[in-house]
Amino acid sequence: MRITLILLAVFIILISPFFGQIELSLKNIIDASKMDYQIFWDIRLPRTLLAFFVGAILALSGLVFQTIFRNPMSTPFTLGVASGATLFTAIGIVLGFTAYISLFAFIGAMITVIVLFLIVSRFETVQTSSLLLIGIALSFFYSASLMILFFISDLQESYEIVRFTMGSLDIVGFENIYLISIAAIFILTLVKRFQYNIKLLLTSHELAYLKGIDVKRTNYILLLGISIVVGICVSITGPIGFVGLIVPHIIKTIMQKSADQLIYPIFFYGGVFLVFCDLIARNLGTVSDIPIGVVTSFLGAPFFIYLILKRKKSL
Amino acid sequence: MLKINNFTNYILKDISFSLNNKNLIILGSNGAGKTTLSKVLCGIIDNDSVTINNINPSKVYGDKKTKLINYIPAKLDIFDDYMSVKEFLELNKLYSNLKIDDVLDMLEISYLKNKSCKTLSSGESQLLLYASAVLHNAMYTILDEPTSNLDPKKVKMIYGNLQNKDILQNKIIISHNLNLSFKLGYDILYLENGKIIFDGTSKQFFETSNLYKFFGSSVKKVDDNILVDL
């Protein structure tokens, strides 16, 4: 089962760059004079890599958020971090700082995390359901702010913002790939380094504290790291929801191990999941590509519900 | 030496006592502040009042803290769905010379080893928590109602285990089981509305006049056992 899954995953990644509106042949992609060469190296390969790293980051972020906030529904998206990044990116677009939108996205993510933290520190204990409600309230606040931005921006800016909020893996060249791959490796290394702390947090915050962990410091560092990388992701691709929510759950249900043992699988299959969704989005034969977020939700939601029902039976 | 000096918060009122390499039992009615006091002692509730060998456990991390004190809650709280009993105990193996398998054997729960902690019954969870206390083996271990979900045989087993001086160092036990408290013979601290209203030896506490003072007619001493008179 496990080996089949890995082989399937590798197969998906390998074939992904070859399919799309124009089909490529293996022979032509090493011939620099051919059109296929440019499509493969400048568009398809960067796109596949982008999908992989963004999926991996979002899935791993979901795992960390679920662990820290002790709630299976917590992700950078459900708690408003991604909405914050989206809003600030839109502000960046309206203010004309198109070159610095990564910075704006990061600031948006950070502000949200700080707000969440300020609220959490006012609780005597970690009240995850209240936190989730606050995350939802923040998301509504941000989308209302985004609406205001639409009204004060001109047509061109509005269009850019709309396209951005739909989420897209359109990319040309490798410039952003370097950034996103460094971000992915950074967050993977960080989470791996905190594996023992994460394992303790998977029991309870009290237990982690009693086993000598500085729980607050651990949470701060992990959330700060996640905000940085999610900010980077959102600035490049726009918000892509649902990956961070479902991939950790799917992998946990399939592998049936405690979450700290699943850091590599969640990272890897998160990447594969988004590559797969992107492959579908590009090959449905529509006039233009379907937004990636549509595909992740369309495929992910039914499978997710199926798994939850199945798990209820086995427990 | 464990000391707490004049601690007051919204539940506890001016708590002071000290414990020098001894065991202790904390008694008191529901809501009297026993669990809150435990959380203060182990540092989960931040404070400036507690010291153990002149170190405040709420101000240190790592083995500086874990060596000093451990708190075992009344209920096992685990977020992860798939963490196994073995994995959980590995996180707790700190200062005991005993192996995980030995402790599981001792408590007759070896059959749980590879089960997920989330699937255990409340009694099994409680034994697992006790096992974790044994493996951690801090200088002071606070056990919050360690027998509340156990069947009579298991209560007797834990009673026997608590009497073994080689297994846990100093124990602070919160309990509503008066007979267990009586038989263990540790010093008694009795809390009411957040205040200490008795701090003395087991012998003094379990005098008939005191029993009537604290528990009214609901408790009786029969043949050297303390019973709840229903």
Asked if A70's CB is within 8 angstroms of B79's CB, the reply is: yes
- Domain coordinates in residue numbering, chain B: 2-78+137-153+165-228
pLDDT at B93 over 70: yes
Q: How far is B128 from chain A (nearest CA, A)?
A: 13
State residue A97's pLDDT score.
84
Q: Tell me which residue of A268, A272, A260 sits closest to A64, measured CA to CA.
A: A260
Interface membership of A67 toward B (CB under 8 Å): yes
State residue A159's pLDDT score.
87
pLDDT at A85 over 90: no
Of B61, B64, B79, the CB nearest to A202: B79
State residue A133's pLDDT score.
83
Q: How many other C-beta atoms can be found within 10 angstroms of the C-beta atom of residue A307?
A: 16
pLDDT at A126 over 70: no
- Looking at chain A, the whole-number percentage of residues with pLDDT higher than 70 is 96
State residue A109's pLDDT score.
85
State residue A312's pLDDT score.
57
State residue A311's pLDDT score.
66
Structure tokens at B51: 């010291």
- Looking at chain A, the whole-number percentage of residues with pLDDT higher than 90 is 33
Interface membership of B45 toward A (CB under 8 Å): no
- Looking at chain B, the whole-number percentage of residues with pLDDT higher than 70 is 100
All residues of chain B having their beta carbon less than 8 Å from the beta carbon of residue A215 are none
pLDDT at B220 over 70: yes
| Alpha carbon distance B80, A201 (integer Å) | 9
Instruction: Kindly provide the ipTM of the predicted complex, given to two decimals.
Output: 0.92
Of A212, A213, A258, the CB nearest to B82: A258
Summarize the confidence of residues A253-268 as an average pLDDT: 94
> The dihedral of CA B224, B227, B229, B230: what is its sign?
negative
| Alpha carbon distance A233, A180 (integer Å) | 7
Instruction: Give residue-wise pLDDT tens across range B119-178.
Output: 999 999 999 999 999 999 999 999 999 999 999 999 999 999 999 988 999 999 999 999
Best residue in A63, A66, A258, A263 for a mutation probing chain B (most B CBs within 10 Å): A258
Q: Tell me which residue of B13, B11, B16 sits closest to B189, measured CA to CA.
A: B16
Q: What is the CATH number of domain B2-78+137-153+165-228?
A: 3.40.50.300
CA distance readout (Å), A87 to A144, A146, A238: 10, 6, 10
Structure tokens at A160: 């850019």
Comparing A120 with B86, the larger pLDDT belongs to B86
Asked if A315's CB is within 8 angstroms of B80's CB, the reply is: no
**Mean pLDDT across chain A, nearest whole number?**
86
Give the amino acid at A72: P
Instruction: Write down all domains in chain A, each with its CATH number in brackets.
Output: 36-314 (1.10.3470.10)
Of B63, B79, B136, the CB nearest to A204: B79
pLDDT at A255 over 60: yes
Structure tokens at B210: 């005191």
pLDDT at B42 over 70: yes
Q: How far is B228 from chain A (nearest CA, A)?
A: 33
State residue A291's pLDDT score.
82
Asked if A200's CB is within 8 angstroms of B91's CB, the reply is: yes
State residue A174's pLDDT score.
84
Asked if A207's CB is within 8 angstroms of B79's CB, the reply is: no
Residue found by looking up tokens 């528990």 in the block:
B215
> How many Å separate Cα A93 from the centre of its chain?
21
Q: How confident is the model at residue A305 (pLDDT cuts 50, 70, 90)?
A: confident
Render the burial of A24-33: b for 16+ CB within 10 Å, e for the rest: beeeebeeee
Q: How confident is the model at residue A128 (pLDDT cuts 50, 70, 90)?
A: low
